[in-house]
Amino acid sequence: MASTFNPGMEEEMDSQSIGILIVDDEFSVRDSLYNWFKVEGYRVDTGANATEALKKLQESQWDIVLLDIKMPGMDGIELQKHIKKIDKTIAVIIITAYATVDTAVEAMKDGAFDYISKPIDPDKLSILIRNAINQRRLVAENIQLKQKVEELSLQDEIVGESPQIKKIQEMIEVVAQTDATVLIRGESGTGKELVAQAIHGKSNRRYFPIISINCGSLAEGILESELFGHEKGAFTGAQYKRKGKLEMANGGTIFFDEIGNIPPKMQMDLLRVIETKQFAPLGSNKIINVDFRVIAATNTDLEKEVAEKNFREDFYYRLNVFSIHIPPLRERPADIPQLAHYFLKKYAQSMNKKVTDISPEAMKILTEYDWPGNIRELRNSIERALVVVGKKSRIEKEDMNLPHLVRPTTLEADSLEDLERVHIQRILEKNSWNISKSAEILKIDRVTLYNKIKKFNLQK
């Protein structure tokens, strides 16, 4: 008899998409539950034993399995283990008689979502199914978010094949698995924050935030409030209670950029927080316990600052547990082509441009340049070149606009005339061949500049 029952359950989700498999050796149980769920609009199927159930589990996707413990052949406990091997996220609800509650508890220890005793109270079944669906949804969301985090953590890669970069990548892998404090050193623009993000992204803390604070950009009072947070009325202008970055980093990583610029008093305060993992917000007596990993970065010579008593020695040693030095780009020119192509691909995609290559001439300029601004400058140059490239499919020499295109060491300009030619070419390229502007910079008139261009056979 195809019968339907009420009471039923209230479910806000699209019940058609939820699949429920009922596994019980008693026909009446299968039939009753089948009809009960069918009328709710769920996708339902039944299995009379483990073999049938496993076949149906292989054939399609199920969200919830209602599983009888006592069945001939493989029992529910054993079957649950097989179900979890197929899909560990399936919510298994054990159906049991009162006499076998102990077994149901055992099943729950093996990962069952819950159990329900026969005869089933329809109210309880409704709630149980709703909770199981919610749990499935949370698990699915969790998996989705984790994938998103993985994707985000891979958004900016550490690119390069040079031995120096390979060494840094190895160090990141090693230190990410620990909770050690890391001090990243390198010139401005070398990618210190990227390394910090990579360490965080590969660590067990990756599902918690990485909070960055630039110690060099904030005045002492503001830095203190930013780090520790404050209560309402803690100081003039503190109209609201505010959570500090140390608290926001709880569970994750705090990244102190430009740590060398931190004022001496703050060095002492921070040292204490890093040691104890405790602090009180400004204007509060309440001690807050936090758990974070510290990564700091600097481009200043900390040893010199310690020697000159500008940086506390104890703070220096607390930070310098594991040090990573990022060499400037000029020391690893072999990485330039790969980095250039990486940024080309990234920005071409974001600007929706079909530029896929860099001409050999343009690449020669890139590899011969000093890059005082390091990777940041290279990135900006590629981004700018993509703006001016127009509809071409590759970046050409004339699309590049670097302030010091040619290094003196690479100049084939021994004579005064050669130097003049190179200098005029550089000024013209720097000013996008704007004759008036270039002439003004060269402090010659436009006619003279035209004559020089003709004389030296200069071309765009």
CA distances from 186 to 157, 239, 260, 422 (A): 17, 39, 12, 32
Task: Provide the minimum distance between the beta carbon of 140 and other proteins in the complex, in angstroms, as a whole number.
Answer: 21
* CB neighbour list of residue 313: distance below 8 Å, 6 or more residues apart: 306
Window 33-72: residues binding other proteins (CB under 8 A):
33, 35-36, 38-41
Candidates 114-122, 154-162, 390-398, 401-409; binding stretch for other proteins (CB under 8 A): 114-122
**137 forms part of the interface with other proteins (CB under 8 A):** no
**134 forms part of the interface with other proteins (CB under 8 A):** no
How many CB atoms within 10 Å of residue 276? 11
Among 11, 52, 370, 383, binds other proteins (CB under 8 A): 11
Number of residues that bind other proteins (CB under 8 A): 31
**28 forms part of the interface with other proteins (CB under 8 A):** yes
Among 87, 123, 291, 314, binds other proteins (CB under 8 A): 123
Separation CA 29–CA 23 (nearest Å)? 9
Residues 316, 310 contacting (CB under 8 angstroms): no
Q: Would you say 16 or 204 has its CB closer to other proteins? A: 16
Handedness of CA 147, 150, 153, 159 (dihedral sign): negative
Q: Is 44 helix (H, G, I), strand (E, B) or coil?
A: strand
Strand duo 253-257 + 43-47: pairing: unpaired
Separation CA 62–CA 57 (nearest Å)? 7
Task: Provide the minimum distance between the beta carbon of 122 and other proteins in the complex, in angstroms, as a whole number.
Answer: 5
Residues 460, 397 contacting (CB under 8 angstroms): no
Q: Would you say 41 or 263 has its CB closer to other proteins? A: 41
ω into 119 cis (within 30 of 0): yes
Among 17, 55, 89, 121, binds other proteins (CB under 8 A): 121
**17 forms part of the interface with other proteins (CB under 8 A):** no
Residues 334, 369 contacting (CB under 8 angstroms): no
**2 forms part of the interface with other proteins (CB under 8 A):** yes
Candidates 25-33, 45-53, 192-200, 250-258; binding stretch for other proteins (CB under 8 A): 25-33
Among 25, 32, 322, 426, binds other proteins (CB under 8 A): 32
Residues 211, 351 contacting (CB under 8 angstroms): no
**120 forms part of the interface with other proteins (CB under 8 A):** yes
Q: Which residues bind other proteins (CB under 8 A)?
A: 1-12, 28-29, 32-33, 35-36, 38-41, 118-123, 125-127
